[in-house]
Amino acid sequence: MSDSLTITPEAVAAAVQDALAAFTAAEDTAALKAARAAHAAEASPLAKLNASLRSVAPENKAEFGKLVGQARGEVNRAFTEREEQLAQAETAARLEAERIDITAVASRTRVGARHPLTLLQEQISDIFVGMGWEIAEGPELEHEWFNFDSLNFDVDHPARQMQDTFFVDPVERHLVMRTHTSPVQMRTMLERDVPIYALCPGRVYRTDEFDATHLPVFSQFEGIVVDKGITMAHLKGTLDHAAKVLFGPEAKTRFRTNYFPFTEPSAELDLWHPTFKGGARWIEWGGCGMINPNVLRAAGLDPEVYSGFAFGMGIERTLMFRSDVQDMRDMAEGDVRFSEQFGMVV
Ligand code: PHE
């Protein structure tokens, strides 16, 4: 069998040259492995030369042994070297192929911000819903009867005048942009069964100037309760609770006598604002009172059996002194930079 070759320095050098040339020619790891199989593994010329050491004359054994040993060492080193080269080249090629340009500008969508009035209105609604109240709504374009007559306003009450109220053409239809949320008192009493515990937040309209403390369109929240045995103490307790949730545990309310046609007795409602920017103080917050018996009667309820209370506050005003907003017009102009300052919660 031709398992052995005759060892000569030339034959060994040729086998080494062939192996090195094959390694260099290999262009990837797979080709390199094939080259090793052909030139360094069993059955390769070098292996055969090694095997033929057995038949070398004893006096030449040491010399040829050394020759073949060196040759195999050289081939192995060349293999390892080429293997490393190819591995590095392959890694570099893969990195290049999978490269991501992190300097590219990402397209970004701005999330915007919810309007602070919406947030505050929701927070106020939550306070009352948390006490088991319902949310009630009414139309902004309202019949004069709901806005005024049913609420016990005289025909010639000054609030009805053109200087205060937006009347909608044709005037004979008696439609107005509601001037307050109080018409929802009457709508709620007509639409729902007693007992009633309802909160109505919503937009109202007055022919006011557009300035730092007035908007011709603004928002109010109206509270209305009708049940048996309701007293002014319930009204006070309810308002104190809402004040504390919105303005902290030291907040409270106080009443000053006032007049509204639809409540009797009526009160101006002041809020003790413990964390007001310029120092703790009383601030006018809204109006309130016990529902006038005439109003209960207009809703078909017997004032001898039922009593109730109502209150109404401005939401823009509340936001102003709660969050130290200097100019109410910022709330109407819709600049997102204003809204963003409030984040997602008030
Ligand atoms: N509607 C009144 C206003 O806008 C406020 C108010 C509501 C007063 C309920 C008493 C009861 O000024």
pLDDT of residue 58: 86
Cα(219) to ligand 1 centroid in Å equals 12
Is the pLDDT assigned to residue 3 strictly greater than 80?
no
Mean pLDDT of 286-309: 97
Which of residues 344 and 158 earns the better pLDDT score?
158
Lowest mean pLDDT among 93-102, 177-186, 194-203: 93-102
pLDDT-based confidence at residue 1 (cuts at 50, 70, 90) = very low
Residue of higher predicted confidence among 314 and 334 = 314
Residues 220-245: tens digit of each pLDDT? 999 999 999 999 999 999 999 999 99
pLDDT in tens, 151-161: 999 888 887 77
Residues 333-342 have a mean pLDDT of 91
pTM higher than the cut 0.75: no
Measure the CA–CA gap between 122 and 312, rounded to whole angstroms.
Answer: 16
The residue whose CA is least distant from atom 8 of ligand 1 is 287
The partner residues of 122 in beta bridges, in order of sequence, read none
Residue 315 pLDDT greater than 60, yes or no = yes
pLDDT average, residue stretch 169-189: 96
Residue-level pLDDT at 159: 78
Residue 247 banded pLDDT, cuts 50, 70, 90:
very high
Between 111 and 52, the higher pLDDT residue: 52
C-alpha dist (Å) from residue 125 to 162, 223, 238, 266:
32, 10, 13, 23
Is the pLDDT at 258 greater than 80? The verdict is yes
64 vs 263, residue with greater confidence:
263
Give the residue-averaged pLDDT of 325-340. 93
pLDDT of residue 214: 93
Residue type, 93: A
4 falls in which pLDDT band (50, 70, 90)? low
The pLDDT value given to residue 111: 78
**Ligand 1 centroid to residue 259 C-alpha, Å:** 10
For helices 58-97 and 29-39, the axis angle rounded to 10 degrees is: 170
Task: Report the pLDDT value the prediction gives residue 103, as an integer from 0 to 100.
Answer: 85
Span 91-109, average pLDDT: 87
- Span 35-66, pLDDT tens digits: 999 998 888 888 888 888 888 888 888 888 89
Using alpha carbons, list the distances in angstroms from residue 93 to 98, 109, 112, 298.
Answer: 9, 35, 43, 87
Which of 177, 180, 255, 270 is the best mutation target for the ligand 1 pocket, counting ligand atoms within 8 Å of the beta carbon and taking the most?
180
Q: What is the pLDDT of residue 282?
A: 98
Spell out which residues line ligand 1, taking CB within 6 angstroms: 180, 182, 222, 260, 263, 286-289, 310-312
| In the predicted structure, residue 345 carries a pLDDT above the cut 70 | no
Residue type (1 letter), 190: L
Q: Are 204 and 168 in contact (CB under 8 A)?
A: no
For the CA of 266, the nearest atom of ligand 1:
10
Mean pLDDT (the chain, rounded): 92
The domain at 116-340 falls in which architecture? 2-Layer Sandwich (3.30)
Task: For the chain, give the number of residues.
Answer: 346
64 alpha carbon – ligand 1 mean position (Å): 116
Residue with CA closest to ligand 1 atom 4: 180
Give the alpha-carbon dihedral of 121, 122, 124, 125, to 10 degrees.
110
pLDDT band at 346 (very low <50, low <70, confident <90, very high): very low
CA of 275 to the centre of ligand 1 (A): 25
